[in-house]
Structure 1
């Protein structure tokens, strides 16, 4: 569970899970101070982070010499009916083509990727 609370700076929001915290903000052209992650950047970070974790764990559990992995996620919202996430994946290490193929196949099991691909239902209620 994440808790979010508006801060005194307009459009700035503190969020946390009880153990870790962060700040979300809008860009100055949208009325914010630009002093935190934008909300959609947090979606990109969730997807990229999960992909890195899944691929790292898969490689380790299968003895694949993955030295490092990086993911750049870009969200394209130009079509209002589609959220298109482009993931550029860099795999480092002495990997065979088969190793790379297996790691990329494992990435498809990323829980955040699966969640983003589901029908979203959002409910709200006054607390």
Structure 2
């Protein structure tokens, strides 16, 4: 679970899972100060990190040595009715076409991609006032 807490700055938000924390903010043209990740960047980060980990786990199972993996993800919102996560991957070395294809299948199976590919629902479970 993540908890976000408003800060004194206009839209700056601190978020934490209880062990690690960071800040989110919005762009200056939307009234923010750009002092943290934009919320959509956090969606991109979640997918990129999960794909990176999934790829490395898959490589380990296949006994394929990976020295370096970089996954980049961008959320294209040009079509408001169908936002699209666009992604790419680069490796620190060359692989045979067969090895590369085996590795790339892991990207399609990452748990965050699987979750984001399903219809999502939102449910308010608590709203309190601290008076």
TM-score over 0.5 (shorter chain): yes
Kindly tell me the number of residue pairs found equivalent between the two proteins.
Answer: 127
Mapped to 1, the partners of 2:4 and 2:36 lie a distance apart of 13
Runs of 4+ in 1 over 6 A off after TM superposition: none
User: In structure 1, what is the equivalent of residue 92 of structure 2?
Assistant: 92
User: In structure 1, what is the equivalent of residue 28 of structure 2?
Assistant: 28
Mapped to 1, the partners of 2:107 and 2:7 lie a distance apart of 36
Partner of 1:80, secondary structure, is: coil
Using structure 1 for the length normalisation, give the TM-score.
0.95
Using structure 2 for the length normalisation, give the TM-score.
0.92
Mapped to 1, the partners of 2:60 and 2:92 lie a distance apart of 13
Question: Which moves more between the two structures, 89-98 or 54-63?
Answer: 89-98
Structure with the bigger percentage of strand? 1
Q: Tell me by how many angstroms 1:92 deviates.
A: 2.3
Mapped to 1, the partners of 2:82 and 2:123 lie a distance apart of 20
Mapped to 2, the partners of 1:73 and 1:25 lie a distance apart of 19
Mapping of 1:50-89 within 5 angstroms?
50-89=50-89
Mapped to 2, the partners of 1:60 and 1:97 lie a distance apart of 18
Mapped to 2, the partners of 1:80 and 1:61 lie a distance apart of 39
Alpha carbon RMSD of aligned pairs, Å? 1.0
Deviations 1:14-41 (A, max 9, x none): 0000000010000111100101000000
Mapped to 2, the partners of 1:101 and 1:94 lie a distance apart of 12
Q: 2:51–2:106: 8 Å Cα contact kept in structure 1?
A: no
Partner of 1:74, secondary structure, is: strand
| Structure 1: gaps (5+ residues) | none
